């Protein structure tokens, strides 16, 4: 039987590449679009090693409507799309707001336009817990009010959500969409053939931790230990990227089955919050590595604490994470070691 084709924009990126694996293993045919603006071609080799086949790939910028039309025309029978492709660095977005608005909003508009032209009606969108800003109450549910974003990056995620709600509400509309609000994705595929590939000095915690353990960075600086949390460091909800990837398979299937509302929003996290120090100690336990770290000043813009209420995803999607924090961190370390072995 022919596999159902799902377009995966940003399919060479960190979360996108793991979703490609899970989609293929669930019986879909992922069709990757990526322009390698924040990923590398070697990801395609990793995917081929895991899957044993080369899935369709198009080197295209999602803002390029003509090139996007060519992909839809060539593939012929795309049934849905997952839109991962976006710029995602909070700090950089403050330096380059225009590029962030142009790329993140423009690519969604272009994708929606081309999907409509080709009658593709199912879209899963990569949103973020950043839309909640500094929440008044924890854990956050999907009904927790969003707050003014503290970066242009966060603002693009809120605007994209608004755009999707407006488009889906239009009387003539046929689009059905699921907005997945990711918490903090970590970890790597068990094969260590794909994982997070930060270009330059990592901004996110886990790649900084693994690079420190590998001797690439001298020490981790923990950004503040005087927050109102049990040990004073920030709380986040760290979700294994393979669990997160599986949420996309469930969401795509739900759209294709015609279940649910026209627009639905789900938190995708574990439902657990961990402090930065807990993560450091869990990493040490999981890997046997001693981590060199110091406490530094707070990072501007950091939310003191956030973690997900996952009741809705559990009840309506039947989605449940399975990996423990230690398992996720062990997989990040295995990936870091495989990177060190090739470079």
Cβ-based burial of 34 (10 A; exposed 0-12, middle 13-18, buried ≥19): buried
Choice between 130 and 321, CB closer to ligand WQD: 130
Quote the tokens at residue 33. 């679009």
The helix (run of H) or strand (run of E) holding residue 211 is: helix 205-213
Choice between 122 and 144, CB closer to ligand WQD: 144
The helix (run of H) or strand (run of E) holding residue 220 is: strand 220-223
Distance CA 82, CA 132 (A): 22
Q: Which residue out of 153, 182, 238, 307 is catalytically annotated? A: 153
CB burial readout 271-307, b (16+ within 10 A) else e? bbbbbbbbbbebbeebbebebebeeeeeeeeebbbbb
The reply to whether 153 belongs to the active site is yes
Q: How far is the CB of 89 from ligand WQD (least distance, A)?
A: 7
Choice between 4 and 221, CB closer to ligand WQD: 221
Q: Which residues bind ligand WQD (CB under 6 A)?
A: 88, 90, 128, 130, 184, 203-205, 208, 220-223, 234, 236, 276, 299, 302
103 φ, ψ to 5°?
-75, -50
- Looking at the DSSP bridge assignments, the partners of residue 124 are 82, 178
Q: How far is the CB of 42 from ligand WQD (least distance, A)?
A: 21
Q: How far is the CB of 206 from ligand WQD (least distance, A)?
A: 7
Choice between 102 and 204, CB closer to ligand WQD: 204
Residue nearest to ligand WQD (CB): 234
E strands of 159-229, at which residues? 176-182, 184-186, 220-223
Q: How far is the CB of 118 from ligand WQD (least distance, A)?
A: 29
The helix (run of H) or strand (run of E) holding residue 222 is: strand 220-223
Q: Among all residues, which ones are annotated catalytic?
A: 153
């Amino acid at each position: 039987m022919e596999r159902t084709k799902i377009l995966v924009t940003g399919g060479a990126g960190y979360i996108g590449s793991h979703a490609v694996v899970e989609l293929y293993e669930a019986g879909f045919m992922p069709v990757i679009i990526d322009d390698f603006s924040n990923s590398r071609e070697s990801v395609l080799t990793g995917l081929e090693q895991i899957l044993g086949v080369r899935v369709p790939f198009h080197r295209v910028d999602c803002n390029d409507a003509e090139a996007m039309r060519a992909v839809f025309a060539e593939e012929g029978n795309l049934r849905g799309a997952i839109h991962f492709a976006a710029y995602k660095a909070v700090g950089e977005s403050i330096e380059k707001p225009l590029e962030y608005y142009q790329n993140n909003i423009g690519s969604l508009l272009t994708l929606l336009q081309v999907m409509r032209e080709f009658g593709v009606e199912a879209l899963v969108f990569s949103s973020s817990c950043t839309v909640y800003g500094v929440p008044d109450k924890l854990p956050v549910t999907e009904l927790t009010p969003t707050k003014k974003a503290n970066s242009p990056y966060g603002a693009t995620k809120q605007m994209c959500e608004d755009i999707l709600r407006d488009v889906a509400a239009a009387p003539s509309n046929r689009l059905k969409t699921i907005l997945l609000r990711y918490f903090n994705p970590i970890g790597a595929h068990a094969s260590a053939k794909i994982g997070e590939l930060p270009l330059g000095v990592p901004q996110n915690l886990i790649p900084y931790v693994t690079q420190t353990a590998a001797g690439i960075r001298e020490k981790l600086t923990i950004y503040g230990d005087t927050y109102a949390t049990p040990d004073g460091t920030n709380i986040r909800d760290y979700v294994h990227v393979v669990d997160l990837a599986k949420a996309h398979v469930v969401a795509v299937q739900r759209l294709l089955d015609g279940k649910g509302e026209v627009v639905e929003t789900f938190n995708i996290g574990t439902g657990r919050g961990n402090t930065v120090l807990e993560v450091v100690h869990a990493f040490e336990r999981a890997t046997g590595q001693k981590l060199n770290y110091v406490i530094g000043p707070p990072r501007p813009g950091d939310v003191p604490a956030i973690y997900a209420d996952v009741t809705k995803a559990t009840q309506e999607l039947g989605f449940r994470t399975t990996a423990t924090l230690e398992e996720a961190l062990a997989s990040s370390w295995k990936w870091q070691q495989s990177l060190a072995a090739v470079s």
